[in-house]
């Protein structure tokens, strides 16, 4: 089952991002760990990890509020 990321912008709408697929959850998470800052700089504010069409989790790419 392939894993991939969905991207959202500040308005909560879908945002453009790389159409990468991964063989495992660990590979997908490793990749997002290496590229999240580039995605955030490009306007992506949150990402959702999916396996096929099943949502695993959603997370923000924004800094935590102090």
39 lies in some domain: yes
Please state, for a pLDDT cut of 90, what percent of the chain lies above it.
85
> Which domain, by its residues, includes 15?
3-60
Reported as a pLDDT band with limits 50, 70 and 90, residue 23 is very high
Q: Is residue 66 part of a domain?
A: no
Q: Give domain status of residue 11, yes or no.
A: yes
Backbone phi, psi, residue 57, to 5°: -165, 165
Q: Say if 51 falls within a structural domain.
A: yes
Has residue 65 been placed in a domain? no
* 42 in a structural domain: yes
Give me the torsion for CA of 11, 13, 16, 20, rounded to 10°: 120
- Please compute, for residue 30, the number of CA atoms within 13 A of its CA located in the half-sphere on the CB side: 7
Residue 53 has pLDDT above 70, yes or no: yes
**Looking at the 3D structure of the chain, how many domains does it have?**
1
Other CB atoms within a 10 A radius of the CB of residue 4 amount to 16
């Amino acid at each position: 089952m392939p894993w991939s990321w969905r991207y959202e912008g500040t308005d909560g709408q879908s945002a453009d991002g790389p159409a990468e697929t991964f063989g495992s959850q660990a590979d997908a998470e490793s990749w997002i760990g290496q590229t999240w800052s580039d995605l955030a700089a490009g306007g992506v504010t949150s990402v959702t990890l999916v396996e096929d069409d099943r949502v695993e989790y959603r997370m923000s790419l924004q800094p935590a509020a102090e």
